[in-house]
Structure 1
Amino acid sequence: MSDYVLDYVWAFALALIITFALTPLVKRFAVAVGAIDKPDARKVHHGAIPRLGGLAIFLGYIGSVLFNGSIPHDHKLFGFVLGTVILVLVGIWDDIKQIEPKTKLMGQIIAAAILVAYDIRVDFINLPWGGVVYLKYWAAPLTIFWIVGFTNIVNLIDGLDGLAAGISFIACIAVCAMTLQLGQTDLACISLALAGATVGFLRYNFNPAKIFMGDTGSMLLGYTLAAISVMGAVKTAATIALVVPAIVLGLPILDTLFAIVRRKISGRPIFKPDKGHVHHRLLAQGLSQKQAVLMMYAVTALFGGVSVIVAEVNAWIGIALVLVIFLGSIFVARRLGVITHSDAAGHPLPRPTIERSDSDETISFDREELAKALEESDDSHKK
């Protein structure tokens, strides 16, 4: 490992420097092409903020990967870079034009299929109790499903300033630790390059954010983490390479599962957005954006620590740890109202007017706006 320390430092530092330097330029480009995120009822930011910051993450990350001596420039790297470029182009298109979800999904499937075409796929799975399951004809579709799923996972938590970038950084570090345990120095460098790019971007994305990563960034982060996990499984025949990213990204994965349950309970379409996600509920508990983000960082770090432990211990102990984390998450989610949040219909109350004086503070709502909001909420519960 010591022989590769400089490569690790170089991978992280170069990506950080490039991303940090290019983000202001990308911000100007985003404004010029109209890639602007405007506030609405579900979003917590105020004012129009440029998105497309993922382009800076991509340039810093891919530049670091291509100029690292520990990463072999073989056909798999070519396929990986090609798939990444296609996905980033789809993300840029979406950030500028807001394309249809089906079109975006098709782009994600194509990017994932390119990895499979270049022999980056899971052909078999090692079972914890021994034995191997060969996927045969299912190898390609299941690998594509895995990659597309991860591609969208990070996007689902991109709701607060710095949240997706910070959680992705923690995930990259955990995945890097896993690849080092498996002796995969090239994948460790790729993980560190992505980690460096997210840190360089966080300088502009942490609250109060000056730019958002957009779908370009969130899809890139999820896609890359998925690709690293699959390449790790291919190189070492170790199923743990797939398990670690799934555990460390347990927060957005569970948030997605809870959202499906919550919307089913309330009788709403599972793909219709609401304000019942974890970060929304933390804000409803009175936390500031920074406090909510830091708390979710801490939870992700906990999941990351568990993932590293699971990679080292007996399979059954690992399963027990994951089960404890899962049950604990359900308990906390119920307490926060993430699973059965009564206001999941997504009709927020109007913003209050706060009047302060030297001796008192008065909070008031516009009567007509309040009545309208309550009526909409009541109608949604009757359906």
Structure 2
Amino acid sequence: MNQLITAAAVAAGLVLIAGPFLIPALHKLKFGQSIREEGPKSHQAKSGTPTMGGLMIIPAITVATLVAAPHSAEVLLALFIMLGHFALGFLDDYIKVVKKRNLGLKARQKLLGQTAIAIVTMAIGTKCLGIDTTVWVPVLDTAINIGWGYFALVLFVLVGTSNAVNLTDGLDGLASGAVAIAMSSYAVICVRTGHDGLALFCAATVSACIAFLRFNLHPAKVFMGDTGSLALGGAVAAAGILTHTEVLLAIVGFVFVCEALSVIIQVISFKTTGKRVFRMSPIHHHFELGGWKETKVVLVFWCAGLIASVIALSML
């Protein structure tokens, strides 16, 4: 318990200390967010708000984890997964914000980086942590061995979760709160399944995200950018993979799944029929354009994430 408190306190403290220094620096460097013209008109006022706020979240999680948690292969692998996505997100933001190239990294470049992370994860996971190729199915409470298909599953979880959290980061505080809720669940899962070191990593992530809300709640003073969202998605994926609860992750991350599916459905529908299923995707914009205030959308999505987490924990 003392270590959990230490991890949470260090992570939150570092974020709260860094914010007042980093935000003016980002302003000075003109690292402002560009808002899509096709997005909700109310979001145009956010143009120029500093981005790359992940620079205060991810280092805080890293330091807090290294201070409070044992430097085991599991903990270091979780940090590697998160920091690998942090590097990809930073490059993406750097290209968009500094180089003024709106598309950032190309999709194949991101996928190449995530594939490399998946390969290292599988190599260390199987050789050092004894992770096998079985998948636990919660409802059936049974494990199914999928052999080499497990590598494809790990890659899918890493790519899917990091990109889904990235898509969720479209409203003030939405991604930060949703990740905090999901990782709170994984902190409990880790404690109940004996992954004590990983629980400290989860606690640090929760605390850092909650502290970031000090600067990210509506009206946001800073956005986390891909630097933060891809890395936090990597952290959530790491928790799911290292606890061997990949299927349960789909329930814990219900909000992220809905955000990603809404984009996939919208794209397929428009390309095949020329019609849109949602007013706009990701789905949080659908509710905005339906007349909901941004703060209401965020609160409802947080509640949905909390309910999904309770359901997931009840399945253990």
- Counterpart of 2:99? none
C-alpha distance in 2 between matches for 1:294 and 1:26:
27
* Mapped partners of 2:142, 2:188: distance in 1: 26
- Whichever of the two has the greater Rg, that structure is 1
- Deviating beyond 6 angstroms after TM superposition, the runs of 4 or more aligned structure 1 residues are none
Q: What residue in structure 2 maps to residue 353 of structure 1?
A: none
Kept after mapping to 1: 8 A contact 2:74/2:198:
no
How far apart, CA to CA, are the structure 1 residues paired with 2:132 and 2:158?
11
Question: Within 1, Cα distance between the matches of 2:124 and 2:273?
Answer: 37
Higher relative contact order (CA 8 A, sep 6+): 2
Amino acid at match of 1:84: M
Give 1:226 deviation, angstroms.
Answer: 1.0
Aligned to 1:124: 134
> How far apart are the structure 2 equivalents of 1:301 and 1:187?
21
- For residues 269 and 10 of structure 1, what CA distance do their matches in structure 2 show? 54
CA offsets, 1:177-203, max 9 Å, x none?
222222322222111110001011110
**Residue 202, structure 1, aligned to residue 202, structure 2:** no
Tell me, yes or no, if structure 1 residue 267 matches structure 2 residue 278.
no
Please give the residue correspondences for 1:127-276 in structure 2 after superposition, counting only pairs within 5 Å.
127=137, 129=140, 132-233=143-244, 241-267=245-271, 275-276=280-281
Structure 1 residue 99 corresponds to structure 2 residue 105: yes
Structure with higher helix content: 2
Match of 1:328 in 2: none
C-alpha spacing 1:86/1:129, structure 2 compared with 1 (3 Å): closer
Deviation at 1:246, TM superposition (A): 1.6
Can you list the C-alpha shifts for 1:212-244, whole angstroms capped at 9, x where unaligned? 0001111111111111111112xxxxxxx2233
Unaligned runs of 5+ in 2: 96-103
Task: Identify the match of residue 287 of structure 1 among 280, 286, 292.
Answer: 292
Distance 1:252 1:268 in 2: 25
- Count of residues paired in the alignment: 297
Partner of 2:117: 111
1:75–1:297 distance in 2 versus 1, CA, 3 Å: closer
Counterpart residue number, 2:73: 75
Q: List per-residue Cα deviations over 1:107-147 (Å, max 9, x = no partner).
A: 22222322222226552124555764323333323212222
- What corresponds to 2:98 in structure 1? none
1:66 is matched with 66
Q: C-alpha separation between the residues in 1 aligned to 2:282 and 2:268?
A: 14
Partners of 2:55 and 2:227 within 8 A in 1: yes
Amino acid at match of 2:83: V
Give the Cα separation in 2 of the matches to 1:125 and 1:225.
Answer: 17
Given that 1:14 and 1:64 are in contact with CA atoms closer than 8 Å, whether structure 2 keeps it comes out as yes
Post-superposition offset of 1:258: 3.2
Give the whole-Å Cα distance in 1 for the aligned partners of 2:6 and 2:273.
47
Change over 3 Å in CA distance of 1:21–1:103 after alignment to 2: same
Structure 2 residue matching 1:133: 3-state secondary structure: strand
TM-score, normalised with respect to structure 1: 0.71
Residue number in structure 2 paired with 1:35: 31
Residue 40 to residue 181, structure 1, CA distance change in 2 (3 Å): same
Amino acid at match of 2:6: W
In 2, are the aligned partners of 1:37 and 1:50 still within 8 Å (CA)? yes
Give distance in 2, aligned partners of 1:67 and 1:61.
10
Q: 8 Å contact 1:84–1:111 — kept in the other structure?
A: no
Q: Distance in 1 between matches of 2:309 and 2:143?
A: 26
Structure 1: where are the runs of 5+ without partners? 234-240, 312-383
Deviations 1:152-171 (A, max 9, x none): 11011111011000111111
In angstroms, what is the RMSD of aligned CA positions?
A: 2.5
Percent identical pairs in the alignment equals 25
- Do 1:162 and 1:202's aligned partners in 2 also have CA atoms closer than 8 Å? yes
What amino acid sits opposite 1:123 in the alignment?
T
Q: Is the CA contact (8 Å cut-off) linking 1:82 and 1:114 kept in structure 2?
A: no
Structure 1 pair 192–76 and aligned structure 2 pair: CA distance change class (3 A): closer
C-alpha contact 1:33 1:96 (8 A) present in aligned 2: no
Change (3 A) 1:79 1:177: closer
1:21 and 1:268, CA in 2 relative to 1: closer, same or farther beyond 3 A? Answer: farther
Does the CA-based 8 Å contact 1:52-1:216 persist in structure 2? yes
TM-score (norm 2): 0.85
